[in-house]
Amino acid sequence: MPTNPDFYSILGVNRTASQQQIKRAYRDLAFEYHPDRAQSHHSEAAEEKLKTINQAYAVLSDPRKRRSYDQWGRQGPIMANSVHFSSFNGSHQSRRQQIEVKISSGKKFQIMEFAKELGVKSSNLIKILRKLIEKGETQGVLENGWFIPR
């Protein structure tokens, strides 16, 4: 399988497919490759295939992401900032790693800006940071929209 297969070919639809056709193709493939149901496929291979199918659907089912993908491919402006998308080929750090790197820098940062970088809601990032502080995995405080390391 190519490193970056075309999302349309992953779902088995053409570039002019309607949202309904994309959804139908996704459901059929997700059902076929779901690890609990994929008896004819090796379970790890089925899991990987399902991840690929989910990523293709996540882009093609969203009109904004689909337009960007159609115009720019995987290097498009929307795709380049998507952590979920960039983790597809394993070339970028996970969100957890990015958070750990940011915290370990020892510099304070604005939560809202960092959340945008990560492609997550700032409220979700705050929850993650609070858990890390509560568990003692990091030392710092959340104050007026900032994370301040100690």
What is the pLDDT of the chain when averaged over all its residues? 79
Does domain 95-149 fall under CATH 1.10.10.10? My reply is: yes
Q: What ranges do the domains of the chain cover?
A: 7-89, 95-149
Q: What is the mean pLDDT of residues 44-58?
A: 84
- Residue pair 2/54 in contact (Cβ under 8 Å)? The answer is no
Looking at the domain that runs over 7-89, which CATH code has it been given? 1.10.287.110
Per-residue model confidence as pLDDT tens digits over 88-147: 433 345 777 788 878 888 889 999 998 888 888 888 889 889 988 888 878 889 999 999
Residue 16: pLDDT over 50? yes
Looking up tokens 């309607």 gives 18
- Residue pair 80/124 in contact (Cβ under 8 Å)? The answer is no
pLDDT above 90 as % of the chain: 26
